[in-house]
Amino acid sequence: MDRQTDVRAALVFGGSRGIGAAAARRLAADGFSVALTYVSRPDKAAEVVAAIEAGGGRAMALEADSGDPAALARAVDATVSRFGALHAAVVNAGVHRINMLQSVPLEELQLMLDVNVRGVFLALQVATARMRDGGRAITIGSNTAIRTGTPGSSVYAMTKAAVAALVRGAALDLAPRRITVNNIQPGPTETDMTSAFLPQVTERVPLGRVAQPEEIAALVSYLAGDAAGYMTGSSLTIDGGFVL
C-alpha cells in the first residue's frame, strides 16, 4: 500500500480511451492520484497509466465491467485501499448504437439501458459510498439529451436524458454530505467511438469543428476542483453550439 493522505484520489470509470482517458490524464495533471477502469482494452489502459506516471503522477488501471456491480465495488475498494477515500469520481463508461426505432433489437435496447443507465447508477452508488464529504461526482452524458438531431438515436438519447435526471436526484440525496453531482453533455467529440459518423455532423456544428477529448476533460477538471463547490445537479452542454 502506498497511500498518501494528503493527495486527492479520483476514479474514472471507463478511463482507457477517448474522453475518459483525457479526463484521467487531466486529473493527474491537477494533482490527483487516479485510478481508471477498463473492460476490453487493457493495453490502452496501460498506456494512460504509463503516461501519467511518466509525468510524475500516480495511477492504476482496474478491470471492471460497468454492468457488474461486484466488479465496480472491487474497483472502488482497490482505489481507496491504495489512494485513500475518493475525492472525485467520473462516470464515463457508455455504449453508443444507432438504429431506427422499428429496427432496434431488444438485445441492443437492453445493452444501452444496462450500460448507459444502470451502469451509471451503480457507479455513482458505489463511488459515493466511499467518497469523502465534500467530494465530486461527475457523469459524462450527451447533448442528445437535449436534441438528438440524427435519425436512429432515440434509444441513446433516452439513456442520456435519464442520466441528466439521475444527476438531479442524486445531487439532492448527497447534498447533506456536501458531495456535488454534475453532468457533462458533450457534443460531437473526436474519439474512436464516434469516428464513423463525425464527418456527417461536423458541418452542422456552428463552430465548424468537433471537440477534442481534452476540451471535455477541462470541464471535468473544473467540476472536480474547489471552484465548483457551489454547483450541483447541473447538466453542462459543451458542443460548439450544436443544440442551439
Helices (H) and strands (E) in the chain, counts: 8, 7
pLDDT at 191: 84
* Mean pLDDT for the stretch of residues 148-154: 87
* Mean pLDDT for the stretch of residues 193-221: 88
Least confident of 24-28, 127-131, 235-239, 240-244: 240-244
Q: Which of 38, 156, 222, 230 is catalytic?
A: 156
**Domain range annotation of the chain:** 9-238
| Domain 9-238: assigned CATH number | 3.40.50.720
Sheet with strand 33-38: strands edge to edge = 59-63, 33-38, 9-13, 86-91, 131-140, 180-186, 235-238
Give me the amino acid identity at 67: G
Per-residue buried b or exposed e for 19-54, using 16+ beta carbons within 10 Å of the residue's own CB: bbbbbbbbbbebebbbbbbbbeeeebbeebbeebee
Label residue 109 by pLDDT band (50, 70, 90). very high
Strand bridging mode 59-63 / 33-38? parallel
Q: What is the mean pLDDT of the chain?
A: 94
In the chain, % of residues over pLDDT 70: 97
Q: Is 156 noted as a catalytic residue in this protein?
A: yes
Residue 79's Cβ-count burial label (10 Å; 0-12, 13-18, 19+) is buried
Q: For residue 76, count other CB atoms closer than 10 A to its CB.
A: 25
pTM of the model: 0.94
pLDDT at 203: 86
